[in-house]
A and B are shown apart, each in its own frame.
Chain A
Amino acid sequence: MSTTTQTSDILTQEVRQAEGNETMQLVSFRLAQEEYGVEITKVQEIILMGEITRVPQTPDYIKGLINLRSTVIPIVDLRLRFGLAREEISDETRIMVVNVAGKTIGIIVDAVSEVLRIRQDQIAPPPPTVAGLGQEYLTGLVRLENRLLILLDIDKILGQEESAAIEAATAGL
């Protein structure tokens, strides 16, 4: 992924048909007053919150399992994953179903905002420190007209912690 920092034209939400491979589409969502973006190719669908079956021996941020048209998928509470405060479920709360590393998982977000198209040169590398967010989920920042979008590496959502948890769980047997 390109990490050029050159300043660029400000892209409005009106998508500009830029030349060839330079653009990418993002789904943006809100989480604790911040705006995040995920590559649209990773997003399968967006669904309403439903009943989640909790699962034992999983990290806090694994809220449990849901039935997505006869497939059982895990639900990650992104707030807890990022160490943010818990929030009551609102009318805007959504589950974003994403495909990561061959698996389908749902992530709980405060609200889904829009689909937008950006150019690669709008992406700036992440600053050395971002409050409340571990570096590893982060691929960059996207400058928009009057706001900043945090580009998320959704593949890392289940993360090393979880792989470690898997090992710990099997080792415990």
Chain B
Amino acid sequence: MSTSDPVVHDEFFESLLGDFLDESGQLLDALNDNLLQLDDWVRSLGENHQERCDDGLMNEMFRSAHSLKGLSAMLGLTDINQLTHKVENVFDAARKDELIITSSVVELMFQAVDRLVGLVAVLKDPSREPVECESVISQIAALLQSAGAERQQSTQADAERALGPSAPEPTTDTTSEGSSSTDATRTGLESEPSSEEVDLFTGLYNETNVPAKYLSIFVDETELSLDQLTETYLAIEDGGTREDLESLLVISHRIKGSAASVGQNRPAKLAHLMEDLLQEWVEKKWPLTPEVVDAMLRGIDELRQCVENLKRGGNISDQLGQAAEDLLKAREQAAAAGMNAASPGQTPQESGSAAPVNAEKPSGSVEKVSPMPEGLTESWRRQVAATAPPGMTILVGAVRFHPNLPLVGLKGQLLYEKLANAGDLCGFDPNPETLEELDELPGVRFGLATEKPAKNIAGLLRIAGVEHVEVEPLEKEPVVDAKPSAPAAAAAVKSFSTSQPSTASRSETRPADGGSKPTETLRVDIERLDQLMNLAGQLVINKARFSQIGEGLRAALSNKRANQAFDGIMRALNKMTETDRVNTEAELRIRLNELVSQARRIQHDLEPIRREVLALAGAQAAVNELGEAIHQLDRVTDGIQQSVMDTRMVPIGPLFTRFKRVIRDITRTNGKAIRLVIRGEKTELDKRMIDELSDPLIHMVRNSADHGIELPDQRVAASKPAEGTVTLDAFHRGNSIMIQVSDDGRGLNPDSILRKAIERGIVTPADAEKITPHQIYQLIWEPGLSTAEKVTEVSGRGMGMDIVKSKIEALNGTVDLDSTPGKGATLTIKLPLTLAILPSLMVKIDGDVFAMPLESVVEIVSIQRSEAKTVHGQWTARVRNRIISIVRLDEIFQWRQNHSEATEGSRDELTLVIVGEEGHEIGLAVDVVLGEEDVVIKSMAENYRNIPGIAGASILGNGRVSLIIDILAMIDMASRSGAAAMAAI
């Protein structure tokens, strides 16, 4: 029955992967940041210290690693899982004083984090080189070994189980020992003292970086569960039925499970204790005394307090220990009152303890079935057969998960959904509604009425984390089960020791195998979405208004009757004006009568016309309303544009923070002392820009740190502080975002750049004569021009500055470099606020409409043609005491002249749009300025190619394409062709 289909990658998995990439990025950033702090701390102590490092920091790092471990395990990402597991162990050992953090440990951790970053990058882009992490794993293992702290188990959940006085549910101990798939064996921890009472909570921390969405689910559900608990306790204070006790058990277990699954380990612990005690009561049939109920209620109150705190976002109150103490006291009393006081450690730990609860309610309310399905037992077959619709093929099946699979409840949920889609479910164990809360679930079982063959269903169920799948048709006459109906755990061991080796199935779960890139995700503040929703609502109202106005206009303008009436009037008038000769008085009278009757007809016909003219007045009102509606539409579209842009905006801070690490590595390798100053980390940028900026920025920062900053003694000699500073800054300016990387190092040497540029033939010696220092600096963006005297390990490799430039330009940005020799250099990236929309000035040049970025426009002036003078053949104009060279587009683009001659000659005035930056301004001659417009940038490279001097295309209101002028490139081209005479003016 168990087929060996490969693990199915489904959409659900893909979406989880997207979440994982998002989440892991943040966790790794946090880890890196903390490591840097740790590094500082370690270095401040020097080698061979025996200090214990800051607990808070250690815990934070432990939690980051732990979260990452859990997430990766859920997705079956074995490599990441193993590595994070090791990393987690190191932090765990350190906080338990089993390991001293030295600089080599930090170094190793940095390496591990780098590997993790690499592994995540491979997930994003499967075409990348695979990352080798075995060496780091073995190094960490060696480190832990030498520290005597080698431990395989350190997850909170495991710790909780091991530390707890007893585990009422059948743990997967036997299975994990029997299976090679778990790297976890419980050695060393079993011997931990189990008699501690109040100290139960030491070493247990709630995870703080649990996503709010999970927390809110936890809060909702736990509140409900606590209410149920309180109610039931109050009801049974005078001794309740066995069923009441069981429902208490189930609820307590549920609370424990959901708390642990969202990292609320302390409340989980308390719930666990409550569950254990209850179990004992049920076992020993002790009476529930008011004291015990009091203690339980007190525990419930504490749990409620925790939930409240969570809701308010505050810290967990620490009365939990007190509550636990009370509970244990109550137990002692009860034990004393009872017969043989058994220590909690001796409570039966075998599956038998929970199984009876289960077995006694085989087909009762599913609600109360403990989440421990036992595989394909005979009773399950019978249960399915009882609920199955007649006349259908029924499949029964059982799925077994890997032991200790994190978020197993979610997996169960997924299986449930898959099955529900595949046919009619006639039985699913455990109850699907409680699935999501479970943190321990060895497997699920089900009955399914479906047309599909068992093999297909089995394939469907083989998702990441599933160890074994059994699906077989249900015989209507139940046959004798071939399997031994031994305890579930034993059967499980058997079934998956014979199933395919789990390592094989694991390697198949690597999403990289799919070859497809996971979808990118973006976290968006719900407020921003609400705003967008609100705007969408306004748009709908606006649409309704438009159709209403349209109706009104149609009604007002349907003047069919007026046309008829007009025809009638015209006919009557024609008759009236017929010039028949009238001879006799009788004839005259007849004529007169005729005239009168025609006049009456006209009168009659005029009435509908009058009415329709009145209706036209109504149309006028509708037109006014239309104007208003258009105005409204205008506002709504602006709002939507803004809001959609906002949803894409994320702060640049995390990107900047990554550079602390870059700087640290550089200082390590080149012996420089460098301080990284970060400013403007709250500045928001388009998410895609942030992603694209990472590589260019790394290159720029490396350049600054490696080539810019001098060695400490050189700096001191230059009477600068020994410690160099690299500053990262981000800020808004106008409609742009500026990102600056500056250093206070030696700056660039313009002479050597120029010399190299001439050597490489980038600049002709003739051009070199009149080049300005600023222009020289811009030469470093040319391919093949490296100013570094020596290529170092850090910045000599990787992309050149020309690639940095092209990357920035791909974002419609510009990059500029300025330097003062001896004082430092500043690289400035200027980016548009968004990638898509550009506020522009629309102009007409030689009959064509062009857009130019508004941010580049300095001013618009009108000069007399006579004011333009040539200087060395270059037309210039004097504008407010500045000499501005006049540039004509057709000259720059060497465009064939079509029709401009006539228009040029007839005009005495010249309109100049002055563009560019201070000191690099030019006046672009235009026919006419049309006004401002926000244009949507369309790429020309998408279907054609990029054209120098043209930043892109946009579509005008009339559907025509207009080109967007690339101002900087144009200034560049103008200065190159500067010597060429502009004779046309």
Q: Are A53 and B942 in contact (CB under 8 A)?
A: no
Given the interface pairs A65-B940, A72-B943, the reply to whether A173 lies near B972 with Cβ below 8 Å is yes
Q: Are A73 and B944 in contact (CB under 8 A)?
A: yes
CA separation between A85 and B669, bound complex, in Å? 67
Choose among A56, A67, A74 the residue that contacts B950 (Cβ–Cβ < 8 A).
Answer: A56
- Of residues 51 through 74 on chain A, the ones whose CB sits less than 8 Å from some CB of chain B are 51, 53-58, 62, 64-67, 70-74
What residues of B have a CB within 8 angstroms of the CB of A169 in the complex? 947-948
What residues of A have a CB within 8 angstroms of the CB of B943 in the complex? 71-74, 103-105
Q: Are A72 and B947 in contact (CB under 8 A)?
A: no
What residues of A have a CB within 8 angstroms of the CB of B969 in the complex? 173
Q: Does A132 have its Cβ within 8 Å of any Cβ on chain B?
A: no
What residues of A have a CB within 8 angstroms of the CB of B950 in the complex? 55-56
Q: Does B511 have its Cβ within 8 Å of any Cβ on chain A?
A: no
Q: Are B948 and A72 in contact (CB under 8 A)?
A: no
Choose among B848, B944, B945, B972 the residue that contacts A53 (Cβ–Cβ < 8 A).
Answer: B848
Q: Does B893 have its Cβ within 8 Å of any Cβ on chain A?
A: yes
- Of residues 946 through 975 on chain B, the ones whose CB sits less than 8 Å from some CB of chain A are 947-950, 953, 955, 959-963, 969, 972
What residues of B have a CB within 8 angstroms of the CB of A58 in the complex? 947
* Interface range, A side: 20 to 34
What residues of A have a CB within 8 angstroms of the CB of B961 in the complex? 53, 64-67, 72
Name the distance in Å between B896's Cβ and chain A's nearest Cβ.
9
Name the distance in Å between A104's Cβ and chain B's nearest Cβ.
5
Name the distance in Å between B782's Cβ and chain A's nearest Cβ.
9
- Of residues 128 through 153 on chain B, the ones whose CB sits less than 8 Å from some CB of chain A are none
Closest to A65 in B: B961
CA separation between A140 and B376, bound complex, in Å? 68
CA separation between A71 and B941, bound complex, in Å? 11
What residues of A have a CB within 8 angstroms of the CB of B894 in the complex? 56-57
CA separation between A46 and B335, bound complex, in Å? 90
What residues of A have a CB within 8 angstroms of the CB of B895 in the complex? 56
Q: Are A65 and B953 in contact (CB under 8 A)?
A: yes
What residues of B have a CB within 8 angstroms of the CB of A170 in the complex? 948
Q: Are A55 and B963 in contact (CB under 8 A)?
A: yes
- Of residues 84 through 112 on chain A, the ones whose CB sits less than 8 Å from some CB of chain B are 103-105
Q: Does B938 have its Cβ within 8 Å of any Cβ on chain A?
A: yes
Closest to B962 in A: A53
Q: Are B942 and A71 in contact (CB under 8 A)?
A: yes
Q: Does A166 have its Cβ within 8 Å of any Cβ on chain B?
A: yes
What residues of B have a CB within 8 angstroms of the CB of A173 in the complex? 948, 969, 972
Closest to A172 in B: B948
Closest to A170 in B: B948
Name the distance in Å between A74's Cβ and chain B's nearest Cβ.
4
Q: Are B949 and A67 in contact (CB under 8 A)?
A: no
Choose among A65, A70, A172 the residue that contacts B944 (Cβ–Cβ < 8 A).
Answer: A65
What residues of A have a CB within 8 angstroms of the CB of B972 in the complex? 173
CA separation between A149 and B463, bound complex, in Å? 56
- Of residues 866 through 903 on chain B, the ones whose CB sits less than 8 Å from some CB of chain A are 889, 893-895
Q: Are B938 and A166 in contact (CB under 8 A)?
A: no
Name the distance in Å between B810's Cβ and chain A's nearest Cβ.
14
Choose among B947, B959, B960 the residue that contacts A56 (Cβ–Cβ < 8 A).
Answer: B947
Closest to B941 in A: A103
CA separation between A71 and B963, bound complex, in Å? 13
CA separation between A115 and B951, bound complex, in Å? 39
Q: Are B893 and A56 in contact (CB under 8 A)?
A: yes
What residues of A have a CB within 8 angstroms of the CB of B945 in the complex? 162, 166
Name the distance in Å between A60's Cβ and chain B's nearest Cβ.
9
Closest to B954 in A: A72
Choose among A53, A62, A73, A172 the residue that contacts B960 (Cβ–Cβ < 8 A).
Answer: A53
Name the distance in Å between A56's Cβ and chain B's nearest Cβ.
3
Chain A positions 117 through 140: 1 when the CB is less than 8 Å from some CB of chain B, otherwise 0: 000000000000000000000000
CA separation between A72 and B943, bound complex, in Å? 7
What residues of A have a CB within 8 angstroms of the CB of B960 in the complex? 51, 53, 67
CA separation between A54 and B943, bound complex, in Å? 15
Closest to B846 in A: A54
Name the distance in Å between A58's Cβ and chain B's nearest Cβ.
7
Name the distance in Å between B260's Cβ and chain A's nearest Cβ.
51
Name the distance in Å between A147's Cβ and chain B's nearest Cβ.
33
Q: Are A53 and B963 in contact (CB under 8 A)?
A: yes
What residues of B have a CB within 8 angstroms of the CB of A166 in the complex? 945
- Of residues 910 through 960 on chain B, the ones whose CB sits less than 8 Å from some CB of chain A are 938-940, 942-945, 947-950, 953, 955, 959-960
Task: Name, among A51, A56, A67, A104, the residue most crowded by chain B CB atoms within 10 Å (CB to CB).
Answer: A56
CA separation between A67 and B895, bound complex, in Å? 22
CA separation between A54 and B890, bound complex, in Å? 12
What residues of A have a CB within 8 angstroms of the CB of B947 in the complex? 55-58, 169
- Of residues 197 through 228 on chain B, the ones whose CB sits less than 8 Å from some CB of chain A are none
Q: Are B955 and A70 in contact (CB under 8 A)?
A: yes
CA separation between A66 and B938, bound complex, in Å? 12
Choose among B893, B944, B949 the residue that contacts A103 (Cβ–Cβ < 8 A).
Answer: B944
Name the distance in Å between B704's Cβ and chain A's nearest Cβ.
26
Q: Are A103 and B942 in contact (CB under 8 A)?
A: yes
What residues of A have a CB within 8 angstroms of the CB of B963 in the complex? 53, 55, 65
Closest to A68 in B: B943
Chain B positions 819 through 852: 1 when the CB is less than 8 Å from some CB of chain A, otherwise 0: 0000000000000000000000000000010000
Closest to B895 in A: A56
Name the distance in Å between B648's Cβ and chain A's nearest Cβ.
20
CA separation between A65 and B946, bound complex, in Å? 13
Closest to B890 in A: A56
CA separation between A149 and B848, bound complex, in Å? 39
Task: Name, among A62, A72, A166, the residue most crowded by chain B CB atoms within 10 Å (CB to CB).
Answer: A72
CA separation between A56 and B895, bound complex, in Å? 6
Chain B positions 378 through 396: 1 when the CB is less than 8 Å from some CB of chain A, otherwise 0: 0000000000000000000
Name the distance in Å between B812's Cβ and chain A's nearest Cβ.
15
CA separation between A1 and B848, bound complex, in Å? 45
CA separation between A170 and B943, bound complex, in Å? 18
What residues of B have a CB within 8 angstroms of the CB of A54 in the complex? 848
Q: Are B938 and A57 in contact (CB under 8 A)?
A: no
Closest to B892 in A: A56
Q: Are A72 and B893 in contact (CB under 8 A)?
A: no
Given the interface pairs A71-B938, A72-B953, the reply to whether A57 lies near B948 with Cβ below 8 Å is yes
- Of residues 9 through 38 on chain B, the ones whose CB sits less than 8 Å from some CB of chain A are none
CA separation between A169 and B948, bound complex, in Å? 7
Q: Are B959 and A67 in contact (CB under 8 A)?
A: yes
CA separation between A153 and B943, bound complex, in Å? 18
Q: Are B893 and A57 in contact (CB under 8 A)?
A: yes
What residues of B have a CB within 8 angstroms of the CB of A56 in the complex? 889, 893-895, 947, 949-950
CA separation between A65 and B954, bound complex, in Å? 10
What residues of B have a CB within 8 angstroms of the CB of A67 in the complex? 955, 959-961
What residues of B have a CB within 8 angstroms of the CB of A104 in the complex? 943
What residues of B have a CB within 8 angstroms of the CB of A74 in the complex? 940, 943-944
What residues of B have a CB within 8 angstroms of the CB of A66 in the complex? 961
What residues of B have a CB within 8 angstroms of the CB of A105 in the complex? 943-944
Closest to A52 in B: B961
Closest to A51 in B: B960
CA separation between A170 and B955, bound complex, in Å? 25
Closest to A66 in B: B961
CA separation between A64 and B848, bound complex, in Å? 12
Given the interface pairs A53-B961, A65-B944, the reply to whether A72 lies near B938 with Cβ below 8 Å is yes
A-B CB contact pairs (8 Å), 23 listed: A53-B960, A55-B947, A56-B889, A56-B947, A56-B949, A57-B947, A57-B948, A65-B944, A65-B961, A66-B961, A67-B955, A67-B959, A67-B961, A71-B938, A72-B943, A72-B944, A72-B955, A72-B961, A74-B943, A103-B943, A105-B944, A173-B969, A173-B972
Chain A residues packing against B (C-beta within 8 Å): 51, 53-58, 62, 64-67, 70-74, 103-105, 162, 166, 169-170, 172-173
Give 14 A-B pairs besides A53-B961, A56-B894, A166-B945 with Cβ atoms closer than 8 angstroms: A53-B848, A53-B960, A56-B895, A56-B950, A62-B944, A65-B953, A65-B961, A66-B961, A67-B955, A72-B944, A73-B944, A105-B944, A169-B947, A172-B948
User: Ordered nearest first, which 9 A-B pairs have the shortest CB separation?
Assistant: A56-B893, A74-B944, A53-B961, A72-B938, A65-B961, A72-B953, A103-B943, A73-B943, A67-B955
